[in-house]
């Protein structure tokens, strides 16, 4: 038995090899490794990890089953709380949630809860283990807007309660940010996302793609003309932000959304697909979040030298530590405490460089992070042919602007109660990025669960 203070190491693709392919970086545990890691769990009576999980998975319970080798049982424990264990095991920020609270973590490394969840989820996908469906049907129609993490979770929970659920998706593929935003090398689309959504389909949930709510049909029409008795809006935060600096409309400047959508959803990295992507040879990604890391690592795999340009220091990078670590291993260059002032454009209208300024950190601002301040006379130029703006996203106003009586706040987010998703409009519930602004997959899932609970209460008392 290895050192109990240390996690069983997880196998990964070699950085030099993976920097040139789109295969998954982390290879995950096999059963032996998973059972070994599971023995490190202390099975705390008052398990703090559960409170750290936005969907409150009974973590010690499922790990106990892994310990015994009962992986199917472990899956049943998780699936009572989460419809997407293979997704969450890969993309949740466990280090600031369940694993941060793990008692093992006080002295040594916490139990690798995320990797164990991933193992259990993948086992269930490989062995086609189905989640438990509803015992009896309820004769109520519910519409879910958006097939991302919030919508899928809400739909799955409602189907398990017996509701007749239809999910409407604007794009041609199901999964929302899981298919257009997060790259293949972090989250495989066919092997994981499509299969996990397949399990939700097996619960009886119906899906309709290519429906843009607010354009193809409105929320009011779904209620008045199509007989839906309750609606859950999980339409995400899709609108990209730009900096508003000169040169931003030049050829070669992308939003991270565009760059990632072309590569992930439209598969531009595979030349057998029609959609092109001018990937760039020397790329600057502006921003420091998970999306910035995804865009940078995608550009790297498409053959570019990639720089992350971020105005604060490494400590303030909003991306997960694991993502920053992987990016560095693969050869992404970090230009920290640096902020763009202007994009330089050649005579053909294409990007030829970027004028940047050096920054230093001052007093903490409203977010609690130290405010970056320009250092006078420190401007200089860097040579790049592509700039990817990864500055965050805001909710699409389309649904709110076409739905009578649905209130939004000044950040264009839909106003909804945290505990049940209730909006200002009767029978309409909302959750995920559409309510909070850009956040994480698991928080959206938590909001989807709350919305399902709210809808159940509403329809039960109707």
Partner 1 sequence: MYKIVKAEKLADIIYLMDVHAPRVASHCEPGQFVIVKMDDKGERVPLTICDYDREAGTITIVFQAMGASTTRMAELKEGDSFRDFVGPLGCPSEFVHEDIEELKKKKMLFVAGGVGAAPVYPQVKWLHEHGIEADVIVGSKTKDLLILEKELESVSGNLYITTDDGSYGRSGMVTTVIEDLVKNEGKHYDVCVAIGPMIMMKFVCLLTKKLELPTIVSMNPIMVDGTGMCGACRLQVGDEVKFACVDGPEFDGHLVDFDQAMTRSRMYKTEEGRKALKLQEGDTHHGGCGVCGGDN
* Residues found near partner 1 in the complex (CB under 8 A): 170-172, 180, 209-212, 215-217, 238-240, 242, 244, 248-249, 251, 254-255, 257-258, 261-262, 266-267, 271-276, 278, 348-349, 396, 398
In whole angstroms, the minimum distance from the beta carbon of 79 to partner 1 comes to 30
CB-CB contact of 310 with 287 (8 Å)? yes
Residue nearer to partner 1 on the CB measure, 271 or 461: 271
- Point out which residues pair with 233 in neighbouring strands: 145, 430
CA distance 217 to 169: 12
The smaller minimum CB distance to partner 1, of residues 123 and 168, is found at 168
State which residue, 19 or 211, has the beta carbon closest to partner 1.
211
Q: Which is nearer to partner 1, 120 or 170 (CB)?
A: 170
Q: What is the smallest separation between the CB atom of 214 and partner 1, expressed in angstroms? A: 9
Tokens at 436, concatenated:
């909070």
**C-beta closer to partner 1: residue 308 or 399:** 399
Structure tokens at 369: 């992070």
Residue 297: name the closest of 15, 110, 19, 2 by CA: 19
- Residue (of 103, 110, 88, 31) closest to 65 by Cα position: 31
Q: Under 8 Å CB-to-CB from 122, ≥6 apart: which residues?
A: 28, 86, 89, 192
Count how many Cα atoms sit within 13 Å of the Cα of residue 214 in the half-sphere of its side chain. Answer: 16
Of residues 251 and 424, the one with the C-beta less far from partner 1: 251
Residue tagged 């062995």 (tokens): 127
Q: Rounded to the nearest whole angstrom, what is the least distance from the CB of residue 395 to partner 1 in the complex?
A: 10
Minimum distance between the CB of residue 281 and partner 1, rounded to whole angstroms? 14
Interhelix angle 31-38/59-68, rounded to 10 degrees, is: 120
- Give dist(CA 92, CA 55) in Å, integer: 12
Q: Which is nearer to partner 1, 47 or 266 (CB)?
A: 266
306 touches 390 (CB < 8 A): no
CB of 242 to partner 1, least distance (A): 7
Q: What is the 3-state secondary structure (H, E, C) of 236-250?
A: CCCEECCCCCCCCCC
d(CA 64, CA 73): 10
Nearer residue to partner 1 within complex by CB, 371 or 412? 412
Cβ nearer to partner 1, comparing 273 with 380? 273
Q: Where are the beta strands (DSSP E) in 289-379?
A: 305-309, 333-335, 338-345, 351-364, 370-374
What backbone phi and psi angles, to 5 degrees, belong to 340?
A: -70, 145
Q: Least distance to partner 1 from the beta carbon of 21, Å? A: 18
DSSP 259: H
Q: Please state the closest distance from residue 146 (CB atom) to partner 1, in A.
A: 11
Q: How far is C-alpha 296 from the geometric centre of its chain's CA atoms? A: 16
**C-alpha distances in angstroms, 5 versus 32, 101, 278, 302, 334?**
18, 15, 47, 39, 32
Least Cβ distance, residue 354 to partner 1 (angstroms): 18
Nearest alpha carbon to residue 187 among 357, 375, 407, 28 = 28
Least Å distance, CB 166 to partner 1, is 13
Least distance from partner 1 to the Cβ atom of residue 12, Å:
30
Closer to partner 1 at the Cβ: 109 or 258? 258
């Amino acid at each position: 038995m290895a050192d109990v203070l240390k996690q069983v190491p997880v196998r990964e693709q070699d950085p030099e090899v993976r920097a040139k392919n789109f295969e998954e970086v982390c290879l995950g545990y096999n059963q032996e490794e998973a059972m070994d890691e599971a023995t490190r769990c202390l099975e705390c009576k008052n398990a703090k990890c559960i409170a750290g999980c936005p969907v409150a998975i009974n973590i010690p319970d499922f790990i106990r089953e892994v310990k015994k080798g009962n992986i199917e049982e472990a899956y049943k424990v998780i699936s009572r709380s989460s419809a997407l264990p293979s997704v969450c095991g890969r993309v949740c920020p466990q280090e600031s949630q369940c694993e941060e609270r793990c008692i093992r973590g006080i002295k040594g490394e916490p139990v690798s809860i995320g990797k164990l969840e991933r193992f259990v989820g993948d086992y269930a996908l490989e062995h086609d283990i189905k989640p438990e469906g509803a015992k009896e049907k309820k004769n109520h129609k519910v519409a879910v807007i958006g097939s991302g993490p919030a919508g899928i979770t809400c739909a799955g929970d409602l189907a398990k309660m017996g509701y007749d659920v239809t999910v409407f998706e604007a794009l041609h593929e199901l999964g929302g940010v899981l298919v257009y935003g997060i790259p293949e090398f972090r989250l495989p689309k066919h092997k994981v996302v499509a299969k996990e959504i397949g399990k939700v389909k097996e619960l009886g949930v119906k899906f309709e793609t290519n429906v843009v709510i607010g354009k193809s049909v409105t929320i009011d029409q779904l209620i008045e003309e199509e007989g839906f008795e309750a609606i859950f809006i999980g339409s995400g935060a899709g609108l990209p932000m730009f900096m508003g600096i000169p040169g931003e409309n030049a050829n070669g400047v992308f939003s991270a959304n565009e760059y990632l959508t072309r590569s992930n959803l439209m598969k531009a990295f595979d030349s057998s697909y029609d959609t092109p992507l001018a990937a760039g040879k020397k790329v600057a990604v502006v921003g420091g979040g998970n999306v910035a890391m995804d865009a940078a690592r995608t550009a790297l795999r498409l053959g570019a030298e990639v720089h992350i340009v971020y105005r604060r220091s490494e400590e303030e990078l909003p991306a997960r530590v694991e993502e920053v670590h992987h990016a560095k291993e693969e050869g992404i260059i970090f230009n920290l405490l640096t902020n763009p002032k202007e994009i330089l454009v050649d005579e053909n209208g294409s990007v030829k460089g970027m004028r940047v300024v050096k920054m230093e950190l001052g007093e903490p601002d409203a977010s609690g992070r130290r405010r970056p301040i320009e250092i006078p006379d420190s401007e200089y130029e860097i040579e790049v042919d592509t700039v990817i703006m990864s500055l965050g996203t805001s909710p699409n106003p389309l649904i709110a602007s076409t739905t009578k009586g649905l209130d939004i706040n000044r950040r264009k987010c839909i106003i909804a109660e945290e505990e049940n998703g209730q909006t200002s409009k009767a029978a309409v519930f909302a959750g995920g990025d559409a309510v909070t602004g850009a956040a994480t997959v698991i928080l959206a899932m938590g909001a989807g669960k709350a919305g399902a609970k709210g809808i159940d209460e509403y329809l039960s008392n109707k």
